[in-house]
Chain A
């Protein structure tokens, strides 16, 4: 079993890094994507995820320039996503320097694209990003279009179908916990981890290094994605890794 990974999850809009609350509330500008990536490179993160959340609203094309610049800065793997709906978008992202591409809306609206990308670039090049929200009846449902549109899928069902389509990893994000820094939705992460045989990255809600430990020990996640805690609290990737190591989790220090 490889080491559990600590991964900054960065959201970009109009060329700036943003951090909203629960996907849509009060997005704050936190940094310039290029400079923050070089900070994370120096802090020995295990990987980096950048999602371009502004493309759809603004009808912008794929920002291959930024992908290339980040690739040139990073000596750890780099995942790019954000409204990738065609094979061409994914292929261009990979050619520009992303090791992996992340699909969210496309999982539901265009599943054949995932199959095709998997066939050409391999499973390890695809992250299926699932955004889930707990409904009033207590059941989880998957959302697409950056949390704006509900789907007919439960996150478990969507994760299983993504695995079958050829995704190599699942990024499971809780819309309710996103940006709150009150801890991951462990129940959601555990449900998804138990339903697939591919690695799972936990996202949404991390506020302390102990939250990350819990996502691994209780949620059975293979990696933890962190946004707000890095942006707004004086916590570094190494703080998280030290806490994990103390808890007996295998990490790359």
Chain B
């Protein structure tokens, strides 16, 4: 959380950590950091009564939203991690458990090169980003994937549609490439003002 705030501030944004309705309504953009598990993240949003508000802001009010890691995963319909808890359903598709294998350890921890599609508004070309995930949106499960991990397991590293953005990695802990991405998101929020 502190790292996400640091990263926004470092790139020139004014930000605050909040789950208050008024703050969300006023903000030019919202970052969903997402800590812990899919189920925990969803139930926490419901507990503080901003689950429906977030969906309305994203889909009806075109408020720019950036989901990070679990905050990205809860933008989808559901997850293997919490089969009884539905996500925000802003993006179609589901989150699956990453299959561990001979050359692939789970959790998937470390830096991977991510290749972004030319249509991406968050990042151009490719860059190294830091991942720490046991679940992911597998490629082919849905459209709008704008960035892919280049590793043995191909999964969605970034998804974008209109004002809604999500990244599986942690831009706040991805040094220079992370800063470039956060800077792009801040600039995007100004276009929607």
Q: Which residues of A come within 8 Å of B, CB atoms?
A: 1-5, 44, 46, 68, 71-72, 74-77, 95-97, 99, 119-124, 168-169, 197-199, 222-223, 252
Partner of B106, one of A4, A74, A99, A198: A198
B19 to chain A: closest CB distance in Å?
15
B193 to chain A: closest CB distance in Å?
27
Interface residue tally for chain B (C-beta within 8 Å): 39
**Any chain A CB within 8 A of the CB of B130?**
yes
State in angstroms the CA–CA spacing of A46 and B104 once bound together: 19
| Chain A-chain B contacts (Cβ-Cβ < 8 Å), number | 97
Partner of B110, one of A68, A120, A121, A199: A199
Q: Chain A contact residues: over half helix, strand or loop, or mixed?
A: loop
A121 to chain B: closest CB distance in Å?
6
B4 to chain A: closest CB distance in Å?
11
State in angstroms the CA–CA spacing of A147 and B139 once bound together: 46
Q: Residue of A at shortest CB range from B7? A: A75
With A77-B173, A122-B134, A123-B107 given, can you name 6 additional A-B contacts, CB distance below 8 Å?
A76-B174, A97-B2, A119-B37, A120-B40, A169-B109, A222-B105
**Contact present for B175 and A76 (CB under 8 Å):** yes
Q: Residue of A at shortest CB range from B172? A: A75
State in angstroms the CA–CA spacing of A74 and B6 once bound together: 10
**Contact present for A197 and B134 (CB under 8 Å):** no
**Contact present for A71 and B2 (CB under 8 Å):** yes
**Contact present for B112 and A3 (CB under 8 Å):** yes
A222 surroundings in chain B (CB, below 8 A): 105, 109-110
Which B121-177 residues have a C-beta within 8 angstroms of A? 128, 130-134, 151-152, 170, 172-176
**Contact present for A75 and B173 (CB under 8 Å):** yes
**Contact present for A2 and B36 (CB under 8 Å):** no
B80 surroundings in chain A (CB, below 8 A): none
Partner of A2, one of B7, B110, B178, B179: B110
**Contact present for B105 and A197 (CB under 8 Å):** yes
Partner of B173, one of A76, A120, A199: A76
**Contact present for A223 and B110 (CB under 8 Å):** yes
**Contact present for B104 and A75 (CB under 8 Å):** no
**Contact present for A1 and B111 (CB under 8 Å):** no
**Contact present for A2 and B173 (CB under 8 Å):** no
Pairs A–B under 8 Å by Cβ, sample size 17 = A1-B151, A2-B108, A3-B128, A46-B130, A71-B6, A74-B173, A76-B130, A76-B174, A77-B130, A120-B36, A121-B35, A123-B107, A124-B133, A197-B106, A222-B105, A223-B110, A252-B111
Q: Assuming A1-B103, A76-B173, A222-B110, is B40 touching A124 (CB within 8 A)?
A: no
B170 surroundings in chain A (CB, below 8 A): 77, 99
**Contact present for B3 and A2 (CB under 8 Å):** no
A99 to chain B: closest CB distance in Å?
6
**Contact present for B108 and A122 (CB under 8 Å):** no
**Contact present for B7 and A1 (CB under 8 Å):** no
A97 surroundings in chain B (CB, below 8 A): 2-3
Q: Residue of B at shortest CB range from A75? A: B175
B172 surroundings in chain A (CB, below 8 A): 75
B111 surroundings in chain A (CB, below 8 A): 2-3, 5, 46, 252
Partner of B132, one of A74, A96, A124: A124
**Contact present for B107 and A72 (CB under 8 Å):** no
**Contact present for A5 and B110 (CB under 8 Å):** yes
Q: Assuming A124-B109, A199-B107, is B100 touching A75 (CB within 8 A)?
A: no
Q: Assuming A121-B35, A124-B133, is B2 touching A1 (CB within 8 A)?
A: no
**Contact present for A72 and B36 (CB under 8 Å):** no
**Contact present for B132 and A197 (CB under 8 Å):** no
B182 to chain A: closest CB distance in Å?
10
Partner of A96, one of B2, B6, B173: B2
**Contact present for B132 and A72 (CB under 8 Å):** no
B153 to chain A: closest CB distance in Å?
8
